[in-house]
Structure 1
Amino acid sequence: MKWASLGWILLGIILAVAIWRGFPPFQIRSNQFPGILSSSITPDPQHVKIEIFKAERKLILYQNEKPVGIFKIALGFSPIGDKEREGDGKTPEGDYAICYVNDKTPYLYFYGLNYPQGKDIKRGFKQGRISQRQYQELIDNNKNNGIPLWNTALGGEVGIHGGGNLWDWTKGCIALSDTDILILKKYLMIGTPVHIFP
């Protein structure tokens, strides 16, 4: 009897995790978040951009300037406002690009954004959050389109990844269901522009 109860508990936990992360067949689609808009679309990463609307928890995927997918997202645990510092739980706002890809992550895939960027760096320096040396390193790195310093008081390692989109739970990243990050994987590459609106 004990083993049967333990089995049901374990099964319940597995199902809860599957639903949270959005594994098929637990992928929820709606008119508002339909996913890819047509099954006949052939991914062309060279001509892709992303727009993220924080207030609507929506990611729109564009290819050749036309929307080809609309996905539900989760944000940082304190999503209102622009990211200013490490640990504030905010998702940054502005123009970024994918600068790093990690396929060895618990979130299936991680597409790192080049946060902090110009406005973030200048604001952080003005507020005294980063040193002159860090300011210069961040500015130089931006000019070379490299991975920014992610270990300053401004925070870093902000990206787009899987892991679940039922509520705002990240430290500042944009999270999708695992199913959706596997779809986006076909479209994204280093250099893909990402604009994040409030």
Structure 2
Amino acid sequence: MNQRDISESANKPPSLPSGVKADRILVDKSDRTLVLFNGGKEIARYNKIRFGDVPMGHKRFEGDERTPEGKYTINGRNSASSYHLSLRVSYPNAADIAYAEARGRSAGGDIFIHGQPNGYNGAPIARDWTDGCIALSNAEIEQVWELVPDGAEIEIRP
């Protein structure tokens, strides 16, 4: 078994019946979990997820390296991103934009749930390393990619 096999098996996604889809995502930053729901029932849980370099607090401005908190939706996907698959989070919302603009700043954007950097073959990065995104192992994002349709709700809690 090579290093990639070992690292990916440490973050192996749960087994699920085919055809099941998520309608809601709950991310808990303090517990470092991402949970998928269908009709109020938990269908998958991912642990040890990673965030922006400054994980505590709500994202306020472009470049603050924080992961947003609040309710958003998944509003797009990118199979050709710089990371292994990515699902776009609808940050910033109107309140985020208003807060930043009132302070003469940009709220930023381009917040995604994604895998590891393309070309990176080691174990999933074991520290907060994104610029505000939510990072999973490559095997986990592959499963999330299949389970989460555009339009799904996402709530990110502190």
TM-score, normalisation: structure 2: 0.85
Determine the C-alpha separation between the residues in 2 that align with 1:53 and 1:76.
14
Q: Does 1:175 align with 2:139?
A: no
Q: Which protein has the bigger strand share?
A: 2
Larger deviation: 57-66 or 171-180?
Answer: 57-66
| Residues 116 and 156, structure 1, Cα contact 8 Å, conserved in 2 | yes
Determine the C-alpha separation between the residues in 1 that align with 2:72 and 2:125.
21
Q: Does 1:69 align with 2:51?
A: no
| Residues 55 and 67, structure 2, Cα contact 8 Å, conserved in 1 | yes
**CA shift in 2, pair 1:40/1:88, >3 Å:** closer
1:75 to partner: Cα distance: 0.3
Q: 1:79-98, aligned counterparts within 5 Å?
A: 79-98=55-74
1:118 to partner: Cα distance: 2.3
| Residues 13 and 139, structure 2, Cα contact 8 Å, conserved in 1 | no
Residues 79-99 of structure 1, C-alpha deviation per residue, up to 9 Å, x if partnerless? 000001111110000001111
1:195 counterpart residue number = 155
Give unpaired runs (5+ residues) of structure 2: 117-123
**CA shift in 2, pair 1:61/1:40, >3 Å:** closer
Secondary structure in 1 matching 2:71: strand
**CA shift in 2, pair 1:113/1:41, >3 Å:** same
Q: Does 1:106 align with 2:82?
A: yes
Compare relative contact order (CA 8 Å, sep 6+) and give the higher one, 1 or 2.
2
Q: Which protein has the bigger helix share?
A: 1
| Residues 97 and 113, structure 1, Cα contact 8 Å, conserved in 2 | yes
TM-score, normalisation: structure 1: 0.69
Note the aligned Cα RMSD (angstroms): 1.9
Determine the C-alpha separation between the residues in 1 that align with 2:46 and 2:68.
18
Q: Does 1:53 align with 2:28?
A: yes
Determine the C-alpha separation between the residues in 1 that align with 2:59 and 2:147.
26
**CA shift in 2, pair 1:78/1:40, >3 Å:** closer
| Residues 25 and 36, structure 2, Cα contact 8 Å, conserved in 1 | yes
2:91 counterpart residue number = 115
Equivalent AA in structure 2 for residue 172 of structure 1: G
Aligned residues with identical type, % of pairs: 32
**CA shift in 2, pair 1:122/1:53, >3 Å:** same
Give unpaired runs (5+ residues) of structure 1: 1-13, 19-23, 130-152
**CA shift in 2, pair 1:51/1:157, >3 Å:** same
1:126 to partner: Cα distance: 2.1
1:68 to partner: Cα distance: 1.0
Structure with larger Rg: 1
